[in-house]
Amino acid sequence: MNDKSTFPGGVHPGSSKNLTKDLSIKTVEAGDVVVLPLIQHIGNPAKAIVKIGDLVKRGQLVAEQNGFISSNIYSSVSGKVSGIKAYAHPILGTSQAIIIENDHKNDAAEPIHKRSLEDLSEEDIVNIIKTAGIVGMGGAAFPSYVKAMVKENNQIDTLVINAVECEPYLTCDYRSMLEKTKEIIEGIRLLNKAVKAKNVYVAIEDNKPVAIQQIKGYLYDKGATDIEIKVLKTKYPQGGEKQILKAILDREVPPSKLPLDVGCIVQNVGTCLAVYEAIVEGKPLIERVITITGKCVKRPGNYRVPIGTLLQDIIDNACRGFSEEPAKIISGGPMMGMAQYTLDVPVIKGMSGIICLTEKEAVSEREGACLNCGKCVDVCPMNLLPTRIARAVKFDKIIEADKLFITDCMECGSCTYKCPAHIPLVHYIKIGKQKLRKIQISKK
């Protein structure tokens, strides 16, 4: 490994991936009800275009993009719209959602397009990605078509595919790379047809040797030289956009800027699969692969599930329930995920996994006084001062926290993980961001 194969800072939590990394993806049917939140993406909530009592088909548009930064939403089942109301949301607590009674017939709507690949221009590819409602599948859920709309004044030279999956426990991207290699590679090429980057890299950590060899083998067998594999050192949060670019290109994205500003676009490997399915198969984003894992889950695994499926249905039907009652349930990874107060929440586009922790695994230490040891500063991948930011928030000095670049925090949890005083630094930072947003809104 050379000195560009990773980034400054970061931590090395246990991977805990052995529970599911060798388990093939299984398809799960939705339950009797699916719930489609109108906000499953960064930006404006989608606007419902169906009403209560309407009959819908699988793959039918039920909520349309509302503004430039927004995303279409499609029904993942056929059935009847039984409600449009506030419902539990895995990130926001609650949000407006379309509720559909599943008739289990899976009557399908027409494909979102029927044109041959040879007839598709760069603009056509972007429009299909937009129409399909594809967002970043790694968790950020940024509408993917926006990244693909490269403006002339953005000199994009590099497309980076994020196949790192650095969060402990999660293996959905890993299994997708093993089982959908061809589709992912072709999805990458379709993305690059729109972006026209000179360099295309797949970034992957060195703790995934089987996936590395499989992708390399596929490219070698095809005599392909248009895509290069970049093997990175295993470290958390190597999967962050800015951390990947620092590791493989030695480019630093300035504060409040984006990869576009340094000539790069970063897309998740799961997004590439969704792009392939939309463009080649005419299929909108109506399902995704998630990891459901934890020592208390009877049948952990990687599952392809319809968007909107309730977690309780997956646990009961696919996972066969719990061997013991979980003490904590997390949507996403244990470092950046959100704790859930109920399993009566739906799978959404950006949900990569559900982690169910036992009492022993979920135990948390009582917060102590800061030791001024500087460990949080040493591991911060964004070169921030987490303890100073948290202290400012704790004493309601939000403007001071803003001056310490609180908004540049990616909430990766490295500081909290390393803190010997068990201070919930990221918790304070999240609160600080919320308060700062309220201040900014009030000024407007």
pLDDT at residue 4 tops 60: no
CA dihedral over 44, 49, 50, 51, signed as positive or negative: positive
- Residue 68 covered by a domain: no
Categorize the per-residue pLDDT at 154 as very low, low, confident or very high, splitting at 50, 70 and 90: low
Q: Is the pLDDT of residue 117 over 90?
A: no
Question: What gap in Å lies between CA 36 and CA 21, rounded to an integer?
Answer: 29
Q: Find all residues with CB under 8 Å of 98, minimum gap 6, and list them.
A: 35, 36, 38, 48, 50, 62, 63, 73, 75, 81, 83, 84
Pairing of strands 55-56, 26-27: unpaired
Residues 127 and 211 in one domain: yes
Question: In this structure, are 352 and 396 located in the same domain?
Answer: no
| C-beta atoms surrounding 441 within 10 Å | 8
* The pair of three-digit structure tokens given for residue 403, joined into one six-digit string: 């001056």
Task: Say whether both 337 and 420 belong to one domain.
Answer: no
| Residues 140, 255 within the same domain | yes
Stretch 17-35: mean pLDDT, rounded?
97
Contact in structure between 11 and 236 (CB atoms under 8 Å): yes
Q: Is the pLDDT of residue 282 over 50?
A: yes
Per-residue pLDDT for 331 more than 90? yes
CA gyration radius, the chain: 21
Strands (E), 309-422: 328-331, 338-339, 353-357
Residue 90 lies in a domain: no
Residue 2 pLDDT > 70 = no
Report yes or no on 381 lying in a domain: yes
Question: Total domain count for the chain?
Answer: 2
Residue 442 is encoded by which pair of tokens?
């009030």
> Is residue 81 assigned to a domain?
no
Asked which of 12-21, 149-158, 374-383 is least confident by mean pLDDT, the reply is: 149-158
Q: Are residues 434 and 315 in the same domain?
A: no
Helices 181-195 and 172-179 cross at an angle (nearest 10°) of 100
Q: How confident is the model at residue 3 (pLDDT cuts 50, 70, 90)?
A: very low
What local confidence, expressed as pLDDT, does residue 255 receive?
83
Show the domain range for 13: 1-29+108-363
The answer to the question of residue 368 being in a domain is: no
Do residues 284 and 278 touch, judged by C-beta distance below 8 A? yes
Closest listed residue to residue 138, CA positions, set 18, 220, 48, 238: 238
pLDDT tier, 391 (very low <50, low <70, confident <90, very high otherwise) = very high
Q: Alpha-carbon torsion 348, 352, 354, 357, what sign?
A: negative
pLDDT per residue as tens digits for the range 394-411? 999 999 999 999 999 999
Report if residue 103 sits inside a domain.
no
Neighbours of 210 (CB within 10 A): 12
Residue 1 has a pLDDT of 39
Indicate the residue among 363, 390, 416 that finishes a domain.
363
pLDDT at residue 153, as a whole number: 54
d(CA 368, CA 366): 6
Which amino acid appears at position 375 of this protein?
K
Is the residue at 285 inside a domain?
A: yes
Is there a single domain that holds both residue 194 and residue 268? yes
**Per-residue pLDDT, 414:** 95
Q: Is 336 in the same domain as 236?
A: yes
Which of 324, 340, 363 is at the close of a domain? 363
pLDDT at position 99 over 70: yes
Q: Which amino acid is at 284?
A: P
Residues 300 and 359 in one domain: yes
Is residue 21, in this structure, part of any structural domain at all?
yes
CATH of the domain at 279: 3.40.50.11540
Interatomic CA distance for residues 238 and 391, integer angstroms: 27
Whether the per-residue pLDDT at 152 is higher than 70: the answer is: no
> In the predicted model, what is the mean pLDDT of the chain?
93
Q: What is the pLDDT of residue 151?
A: 62
Is residue 424 located within the same domain as residue 346? Answer: no
pTM of the model: 0.93
State whether 152 and 231 are in the same domain. Answer: yes
pLDDT at 245: 95
- Do residues 211 and 296 both lie within one domain? yes
Same domain as 407, residue 352? no
Using the 3D structure, point to which of 363, 397, 430 is the last residue of a domain: 363
